[in-house]
Chain A
Amino acid sequence: MWIVKKVKRAFNVAAWNYLPPCKQIVKIISASLDRKLTVRERLVLKLHLAACEPCVHYLEQSQLLSNAAHTMDQHLKTDLYTGRLSDEARERIKNILKASSGLFALLIAVM
């Protein structure tokens, strides 16, 4: 069994030395969230992740952030720290709407 381990280790070392470094890998990780990776990219990524813990964290965390962005709207009703329409803007918009809908109703009445 030890020979299998040795071969595996040698293979990993070789892979580590000849495959692209983290800087390239994080680009592939980012791309994986936006498009389908090529076969080569997937292979390179897999080999790299087997040996590099920071990149594994990077992958998980960028997936988490993508998720957080996608689910943001579900929390808009309750997450009040996002702010609210200021009283001044509220009044202004109401006045503009009143003026505009009056005009619109008039237009319909004329037609």
Chain B
Amino acid sequence: MPAEASSFSIDPMQPVETATVEVSIIKVVPADPTAWVDDHGDYLFRYAVVRLRDTASAEDCVQEALLSAIQAISSYTGRSTERTWLTGILKHKIVDHFRRSARERPIPENGSEVSDVDEFFQPDGRWKDHWRYDLMPVDWQISPETAIEQTEFRATFQRCLGKLPERVAGVFALREMEDLDTAAICEVLQLSNSNFWVMMHRARMGLRRCMELNWFRKA
């Protein structure tokens, strides 16, 4: 049961019209919005910080989202839970944040973030462009389901996301966490298609290697 259903009660003894009036009044007058901070603040903050990685930006996004929520309260139908509704607003604020920082600091052409991933492969010889022996992916000997259930795995995953170059991590977050499609991400971050693919590839290579070093080898 959604919690907000219990915030008003419909008395079976009352005529139906009175009850409907009561509902519409409750929808217009905002419930105490400061309660949102106590009920959902930590959740919203975590949601933002795993995507943005920066505490201050995450706090800003939560604040903006809750402010927008006050103005949008009449659009809240109670069909989803309060938390889902607030998270939906927060999503937009996070995408806006990415859009703004991409505009303020565009990605330098030919910078390391958009250059080809060469460092994992042999530079020459018979096995040119095959894996370097010391950087080859090894067998992690664990089923995906088991790995994801491990707190240690998830914690290391977050730490590894934190180590990616900022813009590379942004592309990864929008694609794999926000589930935006390629065209939308290129528009938000002002990326060319080919830069998008390189950055996505960089993110996966970096994350995988980081997990191998910090999770698999230490387990």
Contacts and interface: CB of A to CB of B under 8 A. Distances in A.
B131 A54 contact: yes
Contacts of A89: 45, 59, 62-63
A71 interface: yes
Contacts of A84: 41-42, 45-46
A34 B197 CA distance: 9
Contacts of B157: 65, 68-69, 72
A52 B218 CA distance: 25
27 contacts: A22-B131, A26-B117, A26-B201, A30-B197, A31-B197, A34-B182, A34-B197, A62-B208, A64-B144, A68-B148, A68-B154, A72-B177, A76-B46, A79-B151, A79-B155, A84-B46, A85-B45, A85-B59, A89-B59, A93-B59, A93-B66, A97-B34, A97-B37, A97-B67, A100-B33, A104-B30, A108-B28
Given A72-B154, A85-B44, A86-B59, 16 more contacts: A21-B127, A23-B121, A54-B131, A58-B137, A60-B144, A65-B207, A69-B172, A72-B50, A79-B155, A81-B158, A82-B46, A84-B41, A89-B45, A90-B41, A97-B33, A97-B34
Interface of A: 21-24, 26-27, 30-31, 33-35, 53-55, 57-58, 60-73, 75-77, 79, 81-86, 89-90, 92-94, 96-98, 100-101, 104-105, 108
